[in-house]
Amino acid sequence: MKCSPASCCARRAEQGARWGQALSISMALLAAAAPFVAADDLMTDAGRYAQPIPTTTEDFVVDAYRDLPVADGVELASHEIYAPDEWNWRDTLSIFFGYDGSKQPQDFGVNAHFGGRSHINWGMPILEDAGLGLQMGTAINATANAVQVNDRLIDNSSRTQSFTTVGLFQRTDAGLVWGLGYDFLYQEYYDNFTLGQYRGRLGWQTSVANEFGVQAAIRDNNDAGHYGAATVLLRPITQGSVYARHTWKNQAAIRCWVGVAEGHSEANVLGDYPPQDECLVFGSDLFVPLGNYVAMFGESNFMTPVDTGAVDAYLGFEFFPWGGAKLARHHPFAPVLPVANNTSMTVDLVRR
């Protein structure tokens, strides 16, 4: 039944409030960083990168910068190919704003989403000499329904998601790269749900431009709720892939993966099909520096079959408030794992 003008206006106002909330949180995160700048953080880039790269040291931090494929026209005296004297908290902080689109089994076969995403991601050393670090990140997705079915059936027109990722990572001088973390999701949709999964990545840098490895996400926490009068269980889908990553001389990088996901249900508001067996999963991410302070970043992940599987993607701009975007992915204590999103946590729905 079509909603009354008053209820439609109320829902649109609620949707606008969610978008405003996401924007306010994002701006607050950006503003909150400013008061914590210590005196030594105010040094100029020239001061912080005053020493040219030694040619005899065995330090892996220096090696990582010295061996970078430098773009044509970049002078060797540039601070971008110098090794920093010491780790600084602002070197590994990034803030993202962009668009997000999603369709997954949790949408009960009748919905999809489009809206905005913002996240902040940061890494720090735990054992600096060993290259062992800690990463922390959080994100807000505020999206509207791309289909009217939920709006008409259960008076739901939007979804808000809060993702948090915490984990450990390491880059070694032998080329080994690994990250292991936990992803937490709280979402307000047709009901409120709390979900969790473990996620990891293990790679080998065969050269300064190429990396190959494996990645996986393993279900941990499920949650039950209601879609109208129906009781449903939401659960992350366990999946694993092999990947390859290539970095060009302009520091643009693309990573592609293909793998297998466990079976998922084919539940639908109109009636359920038998569950799907193990299925193909594939996707990619890209990172393209557009200057010293901003880069284009995005991810996509697809799970077959497309009618009952997952179609997830986001794209936007990643900001580095104190510079360093061009070599951000080469910093020894830059986070290895992106902040969790629907592209890394596919959620199944089982009718109870």
Lowest average pLDDT, out of 201-210, 300-309, 312-321, goes to: 201-210
State percent of the chain over pLDDT 90. Answer: 68
Q: How confident is the model at residue 87 (pLDDT cuts 50, 70, 90)?
A: confident
Please identify which residue in the block is written with the tokens 């005053």: 50
**CA–CA separation, 66 and 62 (whole Å):** 6
Residue 287 carries which side chain, given as an amino acid letter?
F
* Nearest residue to 207 (alpha-carbon basis) of 242, 178, 174, 179: 174
CATH code for position 237: 2.40.160.160
Lowest average pLDDT, out of 47-56, 193-202, 249-258, goes to: 47-56
- Please provide the average confidence, as pLDDT, over all residues in the chain: 83
pLDDT the model gives residue 11? 54
Is 210 a residue whose pLDDT tops 90?
A: yes
Backbone angles phi, psi at 111, to 5 degrees: -150, 165
Contact 79, 324 (CB under 8 A): no
Residues in the chain: 352
More confident residue, 240 or 70: 240
**Structure token digits, residue 213:** 């490895």
Alpha helices in 33-139 (DSSP H): 45-48, 60-66
Beta bridge partners of 285: 255, 299
Residue 150 lies in domain:
5-351
Q: Which helix (H) or strand (E) holds 20?
A: helix 5-32
Question: In the sheet where 347-351 sits, what is the strand order?
Answer: 223-227, 230-236, 347-351
Contact 115, 143 (CB under 8 A): yes
Total tally of structural domains belonging to the chain: 1
Q: Which helix (H) or strand (E) holds 72?
A: none
User: How many angstroms from the chain centroid is the CA of residue 165?
Assistant: 9
pLDDT the model gives residue 73? 45
Please identify which residue in the block is written with the tokens 């330090």: 59
More confident residue, 302 or 23: 302
For residues 27-53, give the mean pLDDT: 40
| Long-range pairs of 59-67 with CB within 8 A, sequence gap ≥ 24 | 59/83, 60/131, 60/171, 60/172, 60/173, 60/332, 61/332, 63/173, 64/171, 64/330, 64/332, 65/327, 65/330, 67/208
Q: pTM of the entire structure? A: 0.79
